[in-house]
Chain A
Amino acid sequence: MKKKTNTARLTPGAIILRLILAWLIVTFVLFPNINIIIDVLHEDGRFSTEAFTKLLRSRRAVKSMVNSLVLGMALVVTVNVVGTLAVLFTEYWDLKGSRILKLSYMTSLVYGGVVLATGYKFVYGSKGIITKLLLLIMPEMNPSWFSGFGAVLFVMTFACTSNHIIFLTNAIRAMDYHVIEAAQNLGASDSKILFKVVLPSLKPTLFALTIMTFLTGICALSAPLMIGGSKFQTINPMIVSFAQAPGSRDLAAVLALFLGLMTIVLLYFMNRVERKGNYISISKTKEKMHKQKLRNPTANIIAHILAYGMFIIYMLPICFVVLFSFCDALSIKTSTLRLSSFTLKNYIALFTKQDAFRPYLVSIVYSVAAAVIAGLICVVAARLVLKSKRKIDSFFEYGLLIPWLLPTTFIALGLMFTYDSPRFLVGNKVLIGSIWIMLIAYVVVKLPFSFRMIRAAFFGVEDSLEEAARTMGAKPVYTLFKVILPVILPTVMSVAALNFNALLSDYDLSVFLYSPKYQPLGVIIKAASDEGVNENAQAMALVYSVVLMILCGLALYLTQGGGTQAIRKKLKRKS
C-alpha cells in the first residue's frame, strides 16, 4: 500500500550530508569525465575535431578498434558456449563428479585479470611447461605459438565464464521443476526439453550475459596486453600506451570516448531487455530443480569428455602456478619440476622480507579502504534516495550510477587528465602522484555496483519493520541503526567482499594512477610476467597469485558460500 509522508524541513545534519555527497559526485564522478570530453573536443581553446582525424590517421589505433570489435564478437560465441555448458554440466545434467567440476569452473571467480593472464602465460608461453611438452612432440614448432588473437580468445573465453557461473546458475536454480516434468509428461524428449523449454526460459539472462561478454571483450586489457603480442592489440592496451606519452594523450582520450559510447549504447539495450522482465518462473508453488540423467549413452559420454576437458583447461594453469610457487627460481625459469627443487623459500620470503610483502600490504590497504568507503557512501545515499520525496535527491542516484556507463580506462583517464593540475574542487591540489588518486578511482568504479545492491537490500526490508519500531517509541535514527542496518548488513558485507576481491589484483585502473612509492599487486604481477624479468620476481609473482586466490576464495566463502554461518554453527556447538 502506498504511504503518505510529509516532507519535513531538512535538519542541518541532513543538509551537510547532502552537500558532502554532492561534492563527492561532482568532483570525482561528473567533472573528470566531462573534462575529458571537453579536452578531446578542444584544441587551443577552440572547438576542434583534430583528435578524431589524428586517430583515424593512426593505423595502430584503427587496427586496435577493429581488433576489439572482432574480439568482442568472437567472445560472445565462445563464452556463451563454454559458459552455458559449464552451467549445464554442473546444474542441469547429472554428471559424475559434478562437485569437483563445479569447483574447477568456479575458479574463474577468484582468478581473473592479470593474475589469470600471468598464469596462462606461465603455462603456455614460450618457456611454459606445456610449450616444452609440445616441443618434445613437434620440435619444429614456434615456441612463441601462444600469442595473438587465438591465444587471447582462448584465455578470455575461460576467464569470462564467471558471469555465467553466477547468473546462469541462479537462473537455472530459479526454474520450476514441475515445468520440466510437465514437458516430460507431454512426451517431449530430453533434447526437446533442453532446447524448447529450458534454454528459452534462460533467454533474458543469456542476452544480458551476451552484452556483458561483448563489453568485457571490447574493454579487455590484461589478456591482449600480455598475450596479444604485437600482432593483436586492442583498444585498452592502446590507450595505456598512448596515455603514457604526452604527445598522444588526446588519442588515448578519443579511444576511451569511443569505448564509452559503445558501452552506453550496449547497456541501453541491455536495460531495455531487463525491463521487459524475465520469465524464469511464474509458478506459485515452485518445485526445486532436479538434475537430469542423460539417457542417451553417446550423449552421456560426450558430455563427460567435454566436461572433463574443460576441467583440465581450467585447472592446468592454477595447478602449475601453485606447484611452481613452491619451486626455486631456477625451476621456475626453466619450467622443470624436480622433487629436489621444492622449497618453502618463496612463501617465507613473502612474510619475512618487507619489500616482498609490501605490494600485498599496499593492495590490501587500498582495496579494504575503497570497499569500506564505497559501501558507506552507498548506504547513506541509498537511504537518502529511498526515504526522500524530493525530486532533487534522485541526483545522487544517477550520479552514483554514472561510472557504470563508462569503461574503467575512461574513468582512469578522466581522473588522470583532470587532477594533474591544481583544481579548485579539491582545494587547488594536484592529486596525480599522490596516494589518494588511486583510492579515489577504486571507490568511483565500485560505486554503481555497490549502490545497486545496497539499494535493493534497503528495498527488501519490509516497511513494517520500521513502523513496528516506531510504534514502540524508537526514533528514526535509532531504528536505522538498531533495526534496518543489521538486516542489510549481510548484503553490505558481501558487496564489500566482492569489491575487495575485484580491486585486490586490479591492473586496469592502477596502471594509470598508482603512486610510484606504493606499487599495487596487479602492476607488480604484470611486470613479473614480462620476458627477461629476473627469476626472483617471477617466483614472487607466483606466490602472490596463490595467496591472492586463497584470499579471494576466503572472502567469497565467508560472505557468499555460507561460510560465516558454518563457522558460527561450529563455534556454537563447541560452546
Chain B
Amino acid sequence: MIEFKHVDIKYGDFTAIKDLNLTISAGEFFTFLGPSGCGKTTTLRALVGFNIPASGQILVDGKDITRESVEKRQIGMVFQSYALFPTMTVYENIAFGLKVRKLPKDEIDRQVNQVAEKIRISSQQLKRNVAELSGGQQQRIALARAIVQEPKILCLDEPLSNLDAKLRISLRSELKRLQRDLKITTLYVTHDQDEAMNLSDRIAVFNNGYIEQVGTPYDIYNHSRSEFVCDFIGDINRLEAAMLSDINRQTGASLKENLTGFIRIERVLSLEKPHTARLKGTVEDLEYNGMLAKYTVHACGQTIKIVEKNDGREFFRPGQEIIFYISPDDIMQYQ
C-alpha cells in the first residue's frame, strides 16, 4: 500500500505539488491523469525517489520512504523515452539490475529468458542491439527490464506516448494482461483519457498541482466532481441560462440558471424518453468520422453538440431543423 501524506514538492520557489494526500491499495492499477505540467510526473518521481518532497511523507507498506535513496526503494520504472542503455544488447539491458544484485549467471539467464517469454521477446531478439528494434519492441524491453526485478511497485511514465495509435491500443491490452498476471501495484502516468479509462482500477485527475478527483473510471466520467474533471474527460456541452430555464420550465427541475450546466454529448438524445425536455434547433455543421456523426446545432441562442451512431439512419443537413431531448438528471453543475 502506498500513502502520500501532506506532500509538498517544490522546484526552487515554485510549488509543483501542494498538500497531496492519496492512498493506493496493493495490487491496484492506479493512473495519474492530467494535462502536461499538472504535477503527475512530479508525484510519480517523488515516489520513485528522484524528487525529495519539501514536506510531508510517502509511505510504502507503512514504512516511511520519503528520504530513502532511489536504489533501495525497489520500485520499478518505465520511462517515456524507455531509457534503454544504447551500448548494451537487449539481453544485457534486461539483465542489468540482476547483475547489480550480483545474482549467479545461470540464475540471471533463467530470469531473463522467463521474462522474455512473458513479454514475447524471442531469443533471437535478445542478442540484438536495442537500437535495431522498433519502438514497440523497445517498449516491451523497457517493461521487461523493470519487471524482471520483481519490484513491489511498478511506475510507468507515459510509456505508450511515443507509439503510433494502433500499436498503442494493442500494447495497452498487453499491459493490462501482464499487470493482472503479475499482480504488481502499478502507477501509470498519462494525459490520454482513453488510456486511463481503459486500463485503470482507479484514476486521480491532476490539475495545477492538486488532485481534483480520485475515483473509478465510471465515477470520474459520470459523476465528475469538478468543472475541470468534467471538461477534461470526454466531450461535453455547456448549457447557458436560456436553455437551462427552458429545461426547468418543461420538466419542473430546479437547475440553477446562474450557473453553467454541463452535459456529456452522448446524453443529448434524438429519441424521446420520459422526463426529458424537448428542444428544437437548426443544424449548423455536420462532422462525420465513420462510426459517428457529430452535429453542431444552434438552439436557445447557443450551440450544442449532438452525436449519433451511424447506423443507417439519414443524416441531417446543415440548415435543417432538429428536435432533441435532454434529461435534467444528466446535467452537472458546479459552484
Q: Which A residues form the contact surface with B (CB < 8 A)? A: 1-4, 6, 462, 464-465, 467-475, 478, 482-483, 486-487, 489
Residue of A nearest to B53 (CB): A4
A4 touches B51 (CB 8 A): yes
* Cross-interface CB contact of B77 among A2, A468, A474, A483, cutoff 8 Å: A468
Distance in angstroms between the alpha carbons of A475 and B48 in the assembled complex: 15
Chain A residues lying within 8 Å of B41, measured Cβ to Cβ, are: 1
B328 proximal to A (CB < 8 A) = no
Shortest Cβ gap from B128 to chain A (Å): 13
* Cross-interface CB contact of B52 among A1, A6, A462, A467, cutoff 8 Å: A6
B101 touches A473 (CB 8 A): yes
B83 touches A474 (CB 8 A): no
Chain A residues lying within 8 Å of B80, measured Cβ to Cβ, are: 464
A470 touches B71 (CB 8 A): yes
- Tell me which of A4, A464, A475, A487 has the highest count of chain B C-beta atoms within 10 A of its own C-beta: A4
Are A468 and B83 CB-contacts (below 8 A) given A4-B11, A474-B71? yes
Chain A residues lying within 8 Å of B149, measured Cβ to Cβ, are: 472-473
B100 touches A472 (CB 8 A): yes
* Cross-interface CB contact of B83 among A464, A473, A475, cutoff 8 Å: A464
* Cross-interface CB contact of B70 among A6, A462, A467, A482, cutoff 8 Å: A467
A465 touches B83 (CB 8 A): yes
Residue of B nearest to A488 (CB): B87
Distance in angstroms between the alpha carbons of A473 and B69 in the assembled complex: 9
Chain A residues lying within 8 Å of B49, measured Cβ to Cβ, are: 470
Instruction: Encode B72-108 as 1/0 by CB contact (under 8 A) with A.
Output: 1111110111011111100000001100110000000
B191 proximal to A (CB < 8 A) = no
Are A4 and B52 CB-contacts (below 8 A) given A473-B71, A474-B96, A483-B85? yes
* Cross-interface CB contact of B79 among A1, A3, A464, cutoff 8 Å: A464
Consensus secondary structure, chain A interface? helix
B146 proximal to A (CB < 8 A) = yes
Shortest Cβ gap from B9 to chain A (Å): 8
Interface size class of B (residues with CB under 8 A): 20 to 34
Chain B residues lying within 8 Å of A489, measured Cβ to Cβ, are: 87
A467 touches B96 (CB 8 A): no
Distance in angstroms between the alpha carbons of A401 and B48 in the assembled complex: 37
A-B contact pairs, 15 of them (CB 8 A): A3-B50, A462-B83, A465-B85, A467-B79, A468-B77, A468-B85, A469-B96, A473-B71, A473-B100, A473-B101, A473-B149, A478-B100, A483-B85, A487-B85, A487-B86
Chain A residues lying within 8 Å of B87, measured Cβ to Cβ, are: 483, 486-487, 489
B140 proximal to A (CB < 8 A) = no
Chain B residues lying within 8 Å of A487, measured Cβ to Cβ, are: 85-87
Excluding A464-B83, A467-B70, A469-B100, 14 further A-B contacts by CB distance (< 8 Å) are A1-B42, A3-B51, A465-B83, A467-B83, A468-B83, A468-B84, A469-B96, A470-B70, A471-B71, A472-B76, A478-B100, A483-B85, A486-B88, A489-B87
Distance in angstroms between the alpha carbons of A467 and B78 in the assembled complex: 10
Distance in angstroms between the alpha carbons of A467 and B87 in the assembled complex: 16
* Cross-interface CB contact of B97 among A2, A6, A473, A475, cutoff 8 Å: A473
B264 proximal to A (CB < 8 A) = no
Distance in angstroms between the alpha carbons of A471 and B76 in the assembled complex: 6
Chain B residues lying within 8 Å of A482, measured Cβ to Cβ, are: 96
Distance in angstroms between the alpha carbons of A464 and B70 in the assembled complex: 13
Shortest Cβ gap from A457 to chain B (Å): 13
Distance in angstroms between the alpha carbons of A468 and B79 in the assembled complex: 8
Chain A residues lying within 8 Å of B12, measured Cβ to Cβ, are: 2
Shortest Cβ gap from A476 to chain B (Å): 9
Distance in angstroms between the alpha carbons of A478 and B101 in the assembled complex: 12
Number of A-B contacts (CB under 8 A): 74
B101 touches A467 (CB 8 A): no
A475 touches B71 (CB 8 A): yes
Residue of A nearest to B67 (CB): A6
Chain B residues lying within 8 Å of A467, measured Cβ to Cβ, are: 48, 50, 70, 77, 79, 83
Distance in angstroms between the alpha carbons of A3 and B45 in the assembled complex: 10
Q: Which B residues form the contact surface with A (CB < 8 A)? A: 10-12, 41-42, 48-52, 70-77, 79-81, 83-88, 96-97, 100-101, 145-146, 149
The 7 closest A-B pairs by CB, nearest first: A472-B97, A464-B83, A486-B87, A468-B83, A470-B70, A464-B79, A471-B77
Distance in angstroms between the alpha carbons of A467 and B146 in the assembled complex: 12
Shortest Cβ gap from B142 to chain A (Å): 8
Distance in angstroms between the alpha carbons of A459 and B43 in the assembled complex: 25
Shortest Cβ gap from B99 to chain A (Å): 8
B145 touches A472 (CB 8 A): yes
Chain B residues lying within 8 Å of A469, measured Cβ to Cβ, are: 85, 96, 100
- Tell me which of A464, A472, A486 has the highest count of chain B C-beta atoms within 10 A of its own C-beta: A472
Chain B residues lying within 8 Å of A470, measured Cβ to Cβ, are: 49, 70-71
Distance in angstroms between the alpha carbons of A506 and B77 in the assembled complex: 51
Shortest Cβ gap from A504 to chain B (Å): 29
Shortest Cβ gap from B75 to chain A (Å): 6
Distance in angstroms between the alpha carbons of A476 and B77 in the assembled complex: 17
Distance in angstroms between the alpha carbons of A474 and B85 in the assembled complex: 13
Chain A residues lying within 8 Å of B96, measured Cβ to Cβ, are: 469, 472, 474, 482
Distance in angstroms between the alpha carbons of A473 and B100 in the assembled complex: 7
Chain B residues lying within 8 Å of A462, measured Cβ to Cβ, are: 81, 83
Shortest Cβ gap from A31 to chain B (Å): 38
Distance in angstroms between the alpha carbons of A475 and B70 in the assembled complex: 9
Shortest Cβ gap from A464 to chain B (Å): 4
Residue of B nearest to A489 (CB): B87
- Tell me which of A465, A471, A473, A487 has the highest count of chain B C-beta atoms within 10 A of its own C-beta: A471
B11 touches A464 (CB 8 A): no
Distance in angstroms between the alpha carbons of A482 and B97 in the assembled complex: 12
Shortest Cβ gap from A532 to chain B (Å): 56
Residue of B nearest to A469 (CB): B96
Distance in angstroms between the alpha carbons of A532 and B124 in the assembled complex: 68
Distance in angstroms between the alpha carbons of A483 and B50 in the assembled complex: 18
Chain A residues lying within 8 Å of B100, measured Cβ to Cβ, are: 469, 472-474, 478
Shortest Cβ gap from A218 to chain B (Å): 43
Are A471 and B11 CB-contacts (below 8 A) given A464-B81, A487-B86? no
Shortest Cβ gap from B84 to chain A (Å): 8
Distance in angstroms between the alpha carbons of A473 and B101 in the assembled complex: 7
Residue of A nearest to B81 (CB): A464
Shortest Cβ gap from B309 to chain A (Å): 36
- Tell me which of A1, A2, A468 has the highest count of chain B C-beta atoms within 10 A of its own C-beta: A468
Chain B residues lying within 8 Å of A486, measured Cβ to Cβ, are: 85, 87-88
Distance in angstroms between the alpha carbons of A471 and B11 in the assembled complex: 22
A471 touches B85 (CB 8 A): no
Distance in angstroms between the alpha carbons of A464 and B86 in the assembled complex: 12
Chain A residues lying within 8 Å of B42, measured Cβ to Cβ, are: 1
Residue of B nearest to A464 (CB): B83
Distance in angstroms between the alpha carbons of A464 and B78 in the assembled complex: 10
Distance in angstroms between the alpha carbons of A474 and B72 in the assembled complex: 9
Residue of A nearest to B149 (CB): A472
Shortest Cβ gap from B18 to chain A (Å): 16
Chain A residues lying within 8 Å of B76, measured Cβ to Cβ, are: 471-472
Distance in angstroms between the alpha carbons of A401 and B88 in the assembled complex: 33
Distance in angstroms between the alpha carbons of A474 and B12 in the assembled complex: 28
Distance in angstroms between the alpha carbons of A507 and B66 in the assembled complex: 59
Shortest Cβ gap from A459 to chain B (Å): 15
Chain A residues lying within 8 Å of B81, measured Cβ to Cβ, are: 462, 464
Residue of B nearest to A490 (CB): B87
Distance in angstroms between the alpha carbons of A470 and B68 in the assembled complex: 12
Shortest Cβ gap from B107 to chain A (Å): 16
Chain B residues lying within 8 Å of A478, measured Cβ to Cβ, are: 100
Distance in angstroms between the alpha carbons of A2 and B49 in the assembled complex: 14
Distance in angstroms between the alpha carbons of A475 and B69 in the assembled complex: 10
Residue of A nearest to B50 (CB): A467
B52 touches A471 (CB 8 A): no
